[in-house]
């Protein structure tokens, strides 16, 4: 009996020690209201929020908690390593609508493309979580509302429109479950980041706000994006290598899956800024709805794009006005040198000291099991054959029908050193100046509304090798033209 009591007491002591140790390992919580945040949606809570972030960082890590049901309006804040911003359901973090408080350029010495609201550099082990909302207050920074866009306010040197979140040189970044958006410029901009997971977020920007990208991966590596719903006037997800951050090197090992997107521009885009290499990219199990362009590789700089797979996708597109880039191409690949322009950021578009650029190679691009419905067809075009090599379409079906009153029969190659808009005919697959194209088990169908500029199922111009097997489809007007035209 005595032995049993001793053993029982020892077990209880062990449990107590474990519980104490577990409690000691729990992350500390820093409630922003405890640091002076008001949360009335009118008072600027940036100082209080920054105090909570700094305290969590100084303590070696912790959760910075935004409690509900409060609206925390704030000027720019700086995030730091080993912290988690957690927004309870019903809590909102709202950007200050006063343009004067935004002074830090989103692109270093290039001040012409927005500022930073929530930012951090060399941040490690950083998380944003919760069922609350991060609101960029984007409409406050816009000019007059037009039919399908907002006017952009003029500015002198610094464009004050804030990017919602900009992390430079981050490691182990996690963003999950939150609602984020209403951005005046890019929403989530990750520069030179390594090991990133973005999952389960709802990202809603106004479809009328220009430059309102959803997620921009800039010189970033080992990124996984999954289970997200994104609406944005500009690109929903964009991969690039901007010249302002060239020290971070290639953009690679990117996986996007199980996402639904809508864009007035391009739902998933690679480019146009790419002065390095973008490679090893997998886009799978995604739905694109009502977009001006579905997926696009818009190559305009000296870098390289290679080894990209798009698979298991539904793409639905239609035309919008020329304010937005694209002409309802469900799949789009172009490689042209960037246009010489007199623009606010023209000096940053070309290598230092150069006034004209070059364009690199796009190669080993694969499309598999993709269903396209739009007012235009697939478009692949380059300035010379060697610029686009080995593009494969396997089980890609294209259905084309006229659904808007906006004129078609046009492809959009902006921004290039040649003609931006190409007027001609709408084909199911249009290949212009390409080295090698392979089509397997693909098809083209036409709807009941067929304007006169609808043409061939396949149109090829200056293509070295076109291999096609088990292709199904006729021209829009079989009595007048062949299925395959040149």
pLDDT at 418: 86
| Overall average pLDDT of the 399-405 stretch | 97
pLDDT at 342: 58
Counting the structural domains of the chain, the total is 1
**Considering the domain boundaries, does residue 200 fall inside one?**
no
Q: Quote the strand ranges of 275-387, DSSP E.
A: 277-291, 293-299, 304-317, 331-335, 362-374, 378-382
pLDDT at 352: 85
Per residue in 148-198, pLDDT tens? 999 999 999 999 999 999 999 999 999 999 999 999 999 999 999 999 999
Is 50 exceeded by the pLDDT of residue 243? yes
> Are residues 328 and 356 in contact, defined by beta-carbon separation less than 8 angstroms?
no
**Considering the domain boundaries, does residue 335 fall inside one?**
yes
**Considering the domain boundaries, does residue 170 fall inside one?**
no
pLDDT at 15: 40
Rounded CA gap, 404 and 185, in Å?
A: 28
Burial of 323 (0-12, 13-18, 19+ CB in 10 A): middle
Kindly calculate the radius of gyration of the chain based on its CA atoms and give it in whole angstroms.
Answer: 25
Is 60 exceeded by the pLDDT of residue 13? no
Per residue in 65-124, pLDDT tens? 999 999 999 999 999 999 999 999 999 999 999 999 999 999 999 999 999 999 999 999
**Considering the domain boundaries, does residue 215 fall inside one?**
no
Residue 5 pLDDT class (50, 70, 90 cuts):
very low
> Are residues 44 and 76 in contact, defined by beta-carbon separation less than 8 angstroms?
no
pLDDT at 112: 93
Per residue in 165-178, pLDDT tens? 999 999 999 999 99
φ and ψ at 82, to 5 degrees? Answer: 65, 30
Residue 304 pLDDT class (50, 70, 90 cuts):
very high
| Overall average pLDDT of the 320-340 stretch | 94
Question: Which neighbouring-strand residues pair with 129?
Answer: 86
**Considering the domain boundaries, does residue 128 fall inside one?**
no
Per residue in 335-361, pLDDT tens? 999 987 655 555 678 888 888 889 999
Is 70 exceeded by the pLDDT of residue 333? yes
Least confident residue range of 20-24, 257-261, 366-370, 437-441: 20-24
**Considering the domain boundaries, does residue 125 fall inside one?**
no
**Considering the domain boundaries, does residue 69 fall inside one?**
no
| Overall average pLDDT of the 207-232 stretch | 98
User: Which residue range forms the structural domain that includes residue 302?
Assistant: 271-339+359-486
pLDDT at 206: 98
Residue 424 pLDDT class (50, 70, 90 cuts):
confident
State the chain's mean pLDDT as an integer.
93
Cα–Cα separations (whole angstroms), residue 18 to 11, 257, 316: 11, 40, 55
pLDDT at 347: 65
Those residues with Cβ within 8 angstroms of residue 446's Cβ, 6 or more apart along the chain or in another chain:
399, 400, 401, 454, 476
Question: Which neighbouring-strand residues pair with 238?
Answer: 216, 269
**Considering the domain boundaries, does residue 325 fall inside one?**
yes
φ and ψ at 49, to 5 degrees? Answer: -65, -40
41: left (phi over 0), alpha (psi -120 to 50) or beta: left
pLDDT at 26: 63
Share of the chain above pLDDT 70, in %: 93
pLDDT at 341: 67
Rounded CA gap, 208 and 268, in Å?
A: 18
pLDDT at 356: 83
Q: Tokens 């304010």 appear where?
A: 323
Those residues with Cβ within 8 angstroms of residue 170's Cβ, 6 or more apart along the chain or in another chain:
120, 122, 123, 124, 126, 190, 192, 193, 194, 196
| Overall average pLDDT of the 24-48 stretch | 91
Those residues with Cβ within 8 angstroms of residue 448's Cβ, 6 or more apart along the chain or in another chain:
401
Is 50 exceeded by the pLDDT of residue 12? no
Rounded CA gap, 126 and 123, in Å?
A: 7
Give the residue among 131, 152, 168, 299 at the shortest CA–CA distance from 212.
152
């Amino acid at each position: 009996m005595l032995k049993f009591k001793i053993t029982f007491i020892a077990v209880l002591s062990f449990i107590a020690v474990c519980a104490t140790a577990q409690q000691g390992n729990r992350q500390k919580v820093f409630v922003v209201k405890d640091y002076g945040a008001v949360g009335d949606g009118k008072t600027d809570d940036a100082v209080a929020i920054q105090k909570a972030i700094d305290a969590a960082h100084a303590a070696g890590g912790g959760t910075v908690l935004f409690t509900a049901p409060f609206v925390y309006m704030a000027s720019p804040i700086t995030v730091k390593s080993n912290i988690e911003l957690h927004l309870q359901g019903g809590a909102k973090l709202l950007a200050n609508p006063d343009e004067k408080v935004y002074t830090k350029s989103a692109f270093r010495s290039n001040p012409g493309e927005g500022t930073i609201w929530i930012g951090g550099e060399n941040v490690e082990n950083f998380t944003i979580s919760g069922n609350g909302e991060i609101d960029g207050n984007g409409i406050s920074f816009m000019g007059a509302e037009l039919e399908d866009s907002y006017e952009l306010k003029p500015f002198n040197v610094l464009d004050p429109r804030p990017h919602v979140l900009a992390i430079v040189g981050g490691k182990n970044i996690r963003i999950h479950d939150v609602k984020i958006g209403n951005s005046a410029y890019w929403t989530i901009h990750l520069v030179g980041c390594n090991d990133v997971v973005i999952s389960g977020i709802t990202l809603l920007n106004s479809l009328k706000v220009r430059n309102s990208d959803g997620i921009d991966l800039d010189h970033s590596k080992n990124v996984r994006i999954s289970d997200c719903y994104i609406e944005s006037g500009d690109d929903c997800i964009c991969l690039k290598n901007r010249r302002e951050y060239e020290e971070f090197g290639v953009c690679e090992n990117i996986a996007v899956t199980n996402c639904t997107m809508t864009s007035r521009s391009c739902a998933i885009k690679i480019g146009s800024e790419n002065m390095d290499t973008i490679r090893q990219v997998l886009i799978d199990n995604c739905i694109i709805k009502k977009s001006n362009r579905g997926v696009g590789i818009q190559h305009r700089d000296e870098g390289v794009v290679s080894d990209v797979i798009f698979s298991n996708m539904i793409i639905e597109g239609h035309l919008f006005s020329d304010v937005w880039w694209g002409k309802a191409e469900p799949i789009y690949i172009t490689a042209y040198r960037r246009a010489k322009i007199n623009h606010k950021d023209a000096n940053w578009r070309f290598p230092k000291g150069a006034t004209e650029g070059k364009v690199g190679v796009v190669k080993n691009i694969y499309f598999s099991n993709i269903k396209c419905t739009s007012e235009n067809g697939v478009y692949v075009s380059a300035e010379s054959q060697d610029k686009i090599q080995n593009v494969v379409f396997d089980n890609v079906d294209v259905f084309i029908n006229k659904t808007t009153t906006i004129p078609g029969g046009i492809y959009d190659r902006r921004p290039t050193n040649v003609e931006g808009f190409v007027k001609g005919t709408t084909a199911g697959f249009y290949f212009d100046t390409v080295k090698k194209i392979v089509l397997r088990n693909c098809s083209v169908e036409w709807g009941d509304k067929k304007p006169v500029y609808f043409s061939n199922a396949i149109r090829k111009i200056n293509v070295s090798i076109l291999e096609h097997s088990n292709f199904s489809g006729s021209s829009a007007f079989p009595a007048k033209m062949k299925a395959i035209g040149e």
